[in-house]
Amino acid sequence: MKKVIMLLTGSTLACLLVLTLSLGVHAQTGQAEGQQMMQQQGTAAQFSDAELQKVATAYLEIHEIRMELQETLAGVTDPESAQQMQEQAGAAMVQAVQESGLDVETYNQVMQEVQMNTQLQEELASKLDQVQ
């Protein structure tokens, strides 16, 4: 379980960054709605078991995509090729989130909360153990 938690904290930020970069700039209205929702939820957001299960499924797929990308990039010297591979991986990560039944914004909200909430981190780690 500690390995899963370490995996969560170590690669979560990288996953969030790639997903955020792959989405581009959000519309101002979307950002305002997201901020408003976070304020309503307070500092300790609550997520359902079903949402956490979907996040776990998406997370594992994203982790695989990220590991494959790292291996592939290790032998690439051309910056344009590297950028193209990163963009393709980002699109694949977004697709993985959507195929799990979530939107990227919800996935990112859960993963951000996981970084700050040890109880949620443990709940997600448990879901990851179940999925593996």
Distance, CA of 129 to CA of 69 (rounded, Å): 24
**18 lies in a domain?**
no
> Would you tell me the crossing angle of helices 49-73 and 79-99 to the nearest 10 degrees?
160
- Which tops the pLDDT comparison, 28 or 5? 5
pLDDT of residue 102: 97
The H or E element containing residue 125 is helix 118-131
Statement: residue 6 has pLDDT above 80: no
Domain coverage including residue 88: 53-74+81-132
**59 lies in a domain?**
yes
**15 lies in a domain?**
no
Residue the block writes with tokens 């910056």: 79
Q: What are the tens digits of pLDDT across the range 46-100?
A: 899 999 999 999 999 999 999 999 999 998 999 999 999 999 999 999 999 999 9
- Alpha-carbon distance values, 113 to 97, 106, 107, 132 (Å): 17, 11, 10, 22
Statement: residue 17 has pLDDT above 80: no
Q: What are the tens digits of pLDDT across the range 28-43?
A: 334 544 544 444 444 4
Residue 26 DSSP symbol: P
Distance, CA of 52 to CA of 43 (rounded, Å): 18
How far from each other are the two terminal CA atoms of the chain, in whole angstroms?
Answer: 12
**22 lies in a domain?**
no
**62 lies in a domain?**
yes
The number of distinct structural domains making up the chain is 1
Query: Mean pLDDT throughout 95-116?
Result: 96
Distance, CA of 107 to CA of 54 (rounded, Å): 9
The H or E element containing residue 58 is helix 49-73
Statement: residue 124 has pLDDT above 60: yes
**41 lies in a domain?**
no
